[in-house]
C-alpha cells in the first residue's frame, strides 16, 4: 500500500546511492578481513549474524536501550488518537506506539518496514508539547516509516558496527596468530585489520551522517505537507531543542548513541565540534524550510491563487 506522504525523489536517490556505496565498502571490507585472517567462515558468519540482528531486532534493541515500552490506547488515549488520525490521513498501517519514561523531550521511529514499525515518544515530550505540536512531531516520525528511511539507516549503520566489533575482537582473540607464528607477523596483521576497520568506520560514518541530515529535512517537509501546519512543527522543534540544550551533557551521553533516530539530537548547551558531524541539520535550516512551506501553503490556499 502506498501512503499519502509525498514521495521524495531526492531522499530515494540518496538512500539508494548510500546503500550502494556502503555495499561496495562492505564487500571490500569482508574480502580484506578474509585475506588477513585466513578464516572466511568466521568473518562471514559474524557479519551475517550482526546484519540479521540489526535488521530483525532493531526496534526491540532501540526500545530496550531507551527504556521504552509498548502502550495501549487505554493508557495513552490522546497519543493513540493522534497516531490513528495521522495514519488514516496518510493511508498507512498504524505502527506500534511506545512511551519512554525519560525526562529528555524527544521522539523516534524504528522498525524494518511500515508493517513492523514502532513510534516512541518520551514522557518529557508529552508533558511539554501542545496537541498540534505533538501532531507535527508524530507526523514527522510516521514519514520516516512511510519513506522506509528508518530501515535504510538501520542497515547502513551495520557496517560501522561491524568495524567497531572487529577492533574489539582483535584484543580478545587469537585469530591474529597462533603460537607458531612470529610476533612480527601477528603485529602486522593486527595493525592491518585495525587500520582497515578504522577507514571503513570513518567512511560509513560520513555517508550515514550525510543521509541522516537530508532525511530529517525530508521528514519535516512531509509532516508539514500532511498536516498543513508547518508552524506547529516549527514550534515543537524550537521548544524541544531549547529544552534539550538545558539538560547537562553528562545526562545526554547515553542518548547520543541514538541521535540518528531522534527528531532532535541530544546535544548539550555547548555541542562544539560535534555539530560538524551531526546527524541533523541545524535548527535554523529546519525552521527556514518550514517557513517556506508555510508561505507556499498560504499562497495555495489564498482566494484566486488556485488554477
C-beta of residue 39 within 8 angstroms of C-beta of residue 52: no
Catalytic annotation, pick one of 103, 130, 135, 141: 141
Mean pLDDT confidence for 280-296: 94
Q: Compute how many other C-beta atoms are within 10 angstroms of the C-beta atom of residue 190.
A: 16
What's the rounded Cα separation, in Å, for the pair 238 and 232? 10
How confident is the model at residue 236, as a pLDDT? Answer: 96
Nearest alpha carbon to residue 162 among 263, 27, 261, 281: 27
Mean model confidence pLDDT for the chain: 80
What's the rounded Cα separation, in Å, for the pair 211 and 118? 21
Instruction: Give 51's contacts (C-beta < 8 A, 6+ positions apart).
Output: 155, 158, 162
Q: Can you tell me which residue has the cell 514521495?
A: 7
Q: Compute how many other C-beta atoms are within 10 angstroms of the C-beta atom of residue 252.
A: 18
C-beta of residue 249 within 8 angstroms of C-beta of residue 268: yes
Nearest alpha carbon to residue 106 among 125, 91, 119: 125
pTM for the predicted model, two decimal places = 0.80
Mean pLDDT confidence for 166-176: 56
| Residue 67, annotated as binding a ligand | no
Among the residue ranges 34-48, 108-122, 136-150, 229-243, the one predicted with the least confidence is 34-48
How confident is the model at residue 170, as a pLDDT? Answer: 57
Q: Can you tell me which residue has the cell 548547551?
A: 269
pLDDT in tens, 81-140: 999 999 999 999 999 999 999 889 999 998 878 888 899 999 999 999 999 999 999 999
C-beta of residue 78 within 8 angstroms of C-beta of residue 50: no
Instruction: Give 295's contacts (C-beta < 8 A, 6+ positions apart).
Output: none
Count CA atoms within 13 Å of residue 152 on its CB side: 24
pLDDT in tens, 177-194: 444 445 666 667 667 767
Nearest alpha carbon to residue 221 among 131, 143, 110: 143
> What residues pair up with 113 in beta bridges, in sequence order?
116
| Residue 116, annotated as binding a ligand | no
71, 96, 241, 265 from 80: Cα distances, Å: 9, 9, 24, 24
| 130 carries an active-site annotation | no
Q: Which residue has the higher pLDDT, 231 or 163?
A: 231
What's the rounded Cα separation, in Å, for the pair 12 and 18? 10
Nearest alpha carbon to residue 29 among 154, 295, 210, 21: 21
Mean pLDDT confidence for 146-162: 76
What's the rounded Cα separation, in Å, for the pair 106 and 263? 6
Q: Is 4 helix (H, G, I), strand (E, B) or coil?
A: coil
pLDDT band at 285 (very low <50, low <70, confident <90, very high): very high
What's the rounded Cα separation, in Å, for the pair 172 and 155? 26
How confident is the model at residue 91, as a pLDDT? Answer: 92
Q: Can you tell me which residue has the cell 516549527?
A: 234
H-helix or E-strand spanning residue 145: helix 131-147
How confident is the model at residue 251, as a pLDDT? Answer: 63
Amino acid at each position: 500500500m502506498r501512503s499519502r506522504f509525498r514521495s521524495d525523489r531526492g531522499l530515494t536517490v540518496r538512500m539508494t546511492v548510500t546503500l550502494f556505496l556502503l555495499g561496495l565498502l562492505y564487500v571490500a571490507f569482508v574480502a580484506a578481513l578474509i585475506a588477513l585472517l585466513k578464516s572466511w567462515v568466521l568473518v562471514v558468519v559474524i557479519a551475517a549474524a550482526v546484519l540479521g540482528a540489526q535488521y530483525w531486532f532493531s526496534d526491540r534493541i532501540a526500545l530496550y536501550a531507551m527504556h521504552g515500552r509498548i502502550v495501549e490506547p487505554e493508557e495513552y488515549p490522546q497519543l493513540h488518537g493522534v497516531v490513528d488520525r495521522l495514519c488514516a490521513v496518510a493511508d498507512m498501517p498504524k505502527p506500534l506506539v511506545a512511551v519512554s519514561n525519560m525526562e529528555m523531550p524527544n521522539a523516534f521511529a524504528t522498525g524494518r518496514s511500515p508493517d513492523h514499525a514502532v513510534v516512541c515518544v518520551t514522557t518529557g515530550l508529552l508533558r511539554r508539547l501542545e496537541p498540534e505540536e505533538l501532531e507535527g512531531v508524530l507526523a514527522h516520525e510516521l514519514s520516516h516509516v512511510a519513506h522506509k528511511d528508518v530501515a535504510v539507516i538501520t542497515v547502513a549503520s551495520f557496517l560501522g558496527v561491524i568495524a567497531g566489533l572487529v577492533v574489539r575482537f582483535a584484543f580478545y582473540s587469537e585469530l591474529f596468530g597462533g603460537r607458531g607464528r612470529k610476533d612480527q607477523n601477528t603485529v602486522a596483521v593486527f595493525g592491518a585489520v585495525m587500520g582497515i576497520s578504522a577507514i571503513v568506520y570513518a567512511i560509513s560514518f560520513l555517508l550515514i551522517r550525510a543521509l541522516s541530515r537530508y532525511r530529517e529535512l525530508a521528514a519535516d517537509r512531509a509532516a508539514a505537507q500532511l498536516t498543513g501546519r508547518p508552524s506547529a512543527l516549527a514550534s515543537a522543534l524550537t521548544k524541544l531543542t531549547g529544552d534539550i540544550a538545558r539538560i547537562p551533557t553528562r545526562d545526554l551521553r547515553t542518548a547520543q548513541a541514538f541521535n540518528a533516530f531522534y527528531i532532535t539530537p541530544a546535544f548539550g548547551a555547548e555541542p562544539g565540534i560535534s555539530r560538524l558531524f551531526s546527524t541533523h541539520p541545524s535548527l535554523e535550516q529546519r525552521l527556514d524550510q518550514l517557513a517556506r512551506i508555510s508561505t507556499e501553503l498560504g499562497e495555495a490556499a489564498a482566494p484566486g491563487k488556485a488554477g
